[in-house]
Amino acid sequence: MATLGIYEKALPKGISWEERLVLAKKLGFDFVEMSIDETDERLSRLEWSKEERKQIIDAIHETGVKILSICLSGHRRFPFGSKDEAVREQALEIMKQAIDLASDLGVRTIQLAGYDVYYEEKTIASRNYFIENLKKAVGMAASKEVVLSIEIMDDAFINSISKFLKIKEQIPSPYLQVYPDLGNLSAWPENDIGYELEQGISQISAIHLKDTLAVTDEFGGKFKEVPFGDGCVDFAGCLKTLKRLDYNGPFLIEMWSETSEMPELEIERAKNFLFPFLKEAGYFE
């Protein structure tokens, strides 16, 4: 039976982790995906003390709601592929700290953004640095039995499972997997979605559920905060394909309602939209 999670940034900001997990349980979720983004506030989580980590572990045990994944988007600010050696070293240090945190909290998967650089110009060198440092990161993760999973992104560097698989050929480790975002995957018109899922099924560790507006010649697409049902994702087709391929891993609803006046209502609306598709595909009763 598949599990259903909710992204931390969908839940109210400024509450404790115990309150966050209690709310996730109330809303019917099995787990929460933690965010460690490029802000100083969330990057500071990498330096939580043993006592702070214990408090979260205790909350997990009390609520029965786990933190199974970390969305580590802090590398957008400190990318593996940076031309600056000091930035690349910082990227690896962030990776080491995130792996240690995941190991302490019982997190199974660290999701990495699929781009070499974000704010810098992309070059052949940035791609090379990315692959070199990803290989080092996978080695670190393997030593702690934590899986690194590349998200299919809003960035052309890795905007398909096929592109991920070309990287995977160079780092053939079971500790490197792919984390398809159905929204991002669907927004790129060159992607044959069914084929992409079929090609990558043996490498998929988790699935993001999100809607997007497609990229066109005149429009760069919209990859965040598109209401479910207003975008281009064929949820019925994607989920039926995944079921046919015997995918039984976790699904994660990705939303950014943490500063909304009524985040619980927005989350319920998202669930009400998605559940008929999940049930029709055979994932939930």
- Residue (of 46, 120, 41, 40) closest to 79 by Cα position: 120
CB atoms within 10 A of CB 60: 19
For residue 1, what pLDDT is reported?
72
For the chain, give the mean pLDDT: 97
Residue range 125-139: mean pLDDT, rounded: 98
Residue range 42-46: mean pLDDT, rounded: 98
- Residue (of 37, 130, 120) closest to 80 by Cα position: 130
For residue 78, what are the contacts with CB-CB under 8 A and spacing of at least 6? 38, 87, 90, 91, 94
Reply yes or no on whether the pLDDT at 23 is more than 90: yes
Q: Residue 206: is it exposed, middle or buried by C-beta count within 10 angstroms (0-12/13-18/19+)? A: buried
For residue 225, what pLDDT is reported?
93
Reply yes or no on whether the pLDDT at 133 is more than 80: yes
Angle at 254 between CA 102 and CA 165, to 5 degrees: 70
Sign of CA dihedral 240, 224, 118, 88: negative
pLDDT in tens, 159-183: 999 999 999 999 999 999 999 999 9
**38 vs 117: CA distance, rounded Å:** 13
Predicted TM-score (pTM) of this structure = 0.95
What secondary structure letter does DSSP report for 205? -
Angle at 86 between CA 85 and CA 89, to 5 degrees: 85
How far, CA to CA in Å, does 59 sit from each of 14, 18, 161, 213, 276?
A: 16, 5, 35, 37, 31
- Residue (of 152, 180, 164) closest to 238 by Cα position: 180
For residue 284, what pLDDT is reported?
86
**81 vs 167: CA distance, rounded Å:** 14
pLDDT in tens, 235-262: 999 999 999 999 999 999 999 999 898 9
Reply yes or no on whether the pLDDT at 285 is more than 80: no
Question: For strand 31-36 and strand 251-253, is the pairing parallel, antiparallel, or unpaired?
Answer: unpaired
pLDDT in tens, 148-160: 999 999 999 999 9
pLDDT band at 9 (very low <50, low <70, confident <90, very high): very high
Reply yes or no on whether the pLDDT at 191 is more than 80: yes
For residue 75, what pLDDT is reported?
97
- Residue (of 47, 129, 40) closest to 86 by Cα position: 129
